[in-house]
Amino acid sequence: MTKYLCFLSFAAMFLFAGCKKEEVTSYSPVINNVTDNIIVATYTDLDAKAQLLVDAANALKADPSSATNLSAARNAWAATRAPWESSEGFLFGPVSTLEIDPNMDTWPLDSIGVDDILAGTDVINKAYIDALSGDAGTGLKGFHAIEYILWGSDGNRAAGTFSARELDYLVACAESLKGKTAELKEAWAASGGNYANELKSRGSIYPTEKAVLVELAEGVRGIAGEVFSSKIQNTLDGLDLSGVSGGIREEESRFSNNTKTDFTNNIISIQNVYLGTYGSTGNGKGLSAIVAAENAALDTKIKTQITEAIAAIQAIGGNANVTFSTALSADRASIEAAQLKVETLETTLRTELLTLISNL
């Protein structure tokens, strides 16, 4: 009898095991690296750069006739813009649910509204800019309001031409932006909202590691889609005020001629998540590590298409000195060529990367 019981217990164990799913590989090294060393690192960098932008704006306000100060403020803007644009491959979580994105980066800018405020008598400070929230208010602040002041609508504002109210507006927008970058960093930090933990441990938001990987893969697919089908397409579709083909009004970051850099950084955000590195941080465990193990040819294909998309964006207009705005009328073929490279990448991410991740 005892023997039989033993046998039954064994049989039972086998049966239980048989109903369980096959043991799967843990993807936590990739998830932890992308979360801490890419996403959190990008937001930390963004917040640090935003503080430098506030400092530079204050320096310009203190001595607005200094060309050095103007140039430093412009550089600080571009330095802050870079981590922001390279965060667009992961626009999920607090950046979206806390409505941080529209408060930092609404385009087109409502420049007529900004001019109205500058011409008025409202006291301009951080609280005033913060209160321009939701709805129409977001078009009056953020990166592009700062850009509009620093470069002017024609892109070549000179030092010494700023009114006191413009300088107030510049500093207030920079401070408001810094408030948002701090909120975003805090929302992910272990000491704050700890959204990083939602990705790194299993809860109701992401019940499985695969759910996190799907979010990451959809994130990079999403920004590739936005760059080719919206950001670039809108400039090609639109007609500007005088009916000239090429929608300069639609061209994001055109005051500073940072457009090509913006788009490049968008693709770099894909690269960062894919390769598992952010500048010198990150241990190289990104989506690539998973893809390479399953389908080495696809891994190579994605890496190549990322590189080609970046190269094609940088080649818009033929060389680095030709702006996107100029290329819109002078060399549309180069814009369309870049668009096609990004579209090709998006197709691969959508049809092949996502299929692979969904079937893990």
Partner 1 sequence: MKKYILYSFAVLLIFSCKKEEIKNDASEEFPGGATTYNNIFSGSFEQPSSNLNTAELLQHNTGDAHFSANFVTSPAIRNQGLGPIFNHISCVVCHPKNGKSPQPFSGDDLKGLLFRISVPGTDIHGGPANAPGFGTQLQNKANVGKQAEASVQISFTETSFAFEDGTNYSLRKPSYTLMNPYISLPSNILVSPRLGQQVIGLGLLEAINERDLLAHEDISDANGDGISGKANKVWNPVSNKIEVGRFGWKAGNPTLLLQAAGALNQDIGVTSHIFPSENSFGQTQYDGLNDEPEVDSQQLSDLAFYTQTLAVPKRRDFNNDDVLSGKQLFFKIGCDKCHTQKYITGTGATPSVSNQTIYPYTDLLLHDMGPELADNRPDFLASGTEWRTPPLWGIGLTPLVNGHSNLLHDGRARNILEAIMWHGGEAENQKIKVTKLSKKEREQLVRFVGSL
What string of H, E and C letters represents the secondary structure of 141-167? CCHHHHHHHHHCCCCCCCCCCCCHHHH
Footprint of partner 1 on 215-254 (CB under 8 A): 215, 218-219, 222, 229, 241
Task: Output 60 or 342, the one with its CB closest to partner 1.
Answer: 342
Residue 259 near residue 11 (C-beta atoms within 8 A): no
> Which two structure tokens, joined as six digits, stand for 205?
């938001």
Residue 234 near residue 259 (C-beta atoms within 8 A): no
Number of residues this chain uses to bind partner 1 (CB under 8 A): 36
Instruction: Judge residue 71's burial from the number of C-beta atoms within 10 Å of its C-beta, 0-12 exposed, 13-18 middle, 19 or more buried.
Output: middle
Does position 2 interact with partner 1 (CB under 8 A)? The reply is no
Does position 130 interact with partner 1 (CB under 8 A)? The reply is no
Does position 4 interact with partner 1 (CB under 8 A)? The reply is yes
Task: Output 156 or 204, the one with its CB closest to partner 1.
Answer: 204
Residue 281 near residue 37 (C-beta atoms within 8 A): yes
Exactly one of 6, 8, 24, 164 binds partner 1 (CB under 8 A); that residue is 8
Only one of the segments 87-95, 142-150, 155-163, 175-183 lies at the binding site for partner 1 (rule: CB under 8 A); that segment is 87-95
Residue 76 near residue 63 (C-beta atoms within 8 A): no
Does position 123 interact with partner 1 (CB under 8 A)? The reply is no
Residue 353 near residue 221 (C-beta atoms within 8 A): yes
Exactly one of 64, 89, 94, 276 binds partner 1 (CB under 8 A); that residue is 94
Task: Output 234 or 326, the one with its CB closest to partner 1.
Answer: 234
Task: Output 67 or 136, the one with its CB closest to partner 1.
Answer: 136
Report the C-alpha gap between 76 and 59 in whole angstroms: 12
Does position 183 interact with partner 1 (CB under 8 A)? The reply is no
Q: What are phi and psi of 240, to 5 degrees?
A: -85, 180
Residue 318 has a CB neighbour count (10 Å cut-off) of 12
CB of 218 to partner 1, least distance (A): 4
Report the C-alpha gap between 264 and 258 in whole angstroms: 10
Residue 284 near residue 272 (C-beta atoms within 8 A): no
Does position 297 interact with partner 1 (CB under 8 A)? The reply is no
Footprint of partner 1 on 133-152 (CB under 8 A): 133-136, 139
Report the C-alpha gap between 306 and 151 in whole angstroms: 31
Exactly one of 96, 197, 245, 304 binds partner 1 (CB under 8 A); that residue is 96
Footprint of partner 1 on 12-51 (CB under 8 A): 12, 15-16, 18-19
CB of 148 to partner 1, least distance (A): 17
Task: Output 226 or 308, the one with its CB closest to partner 1.
Answer: 226
Does position 89 interact with partner 1 (CB under 8 A)? The reply is no
Does position 197 interact with partner 1 (CB under 8 A)? The reply is no
> Which two structure tokens, joined as six digits, stand for 284?
């190289």
Q: Mark out the alpha helices in 279-331 (DSSP H runs).
A: 287-294, 296-314, 324-330
Report the C-alpha gap between 328 and 338 in whole angstroms: 12
Binding site for partner 1 (CB under 8 A): 4, 7-8, 11-12, 15-16, 18-19, 92-94, 96-99, 110, 133-136, 139, 204-207, 211, 214-215, 218-219, 222, 229, 241, 354, 358
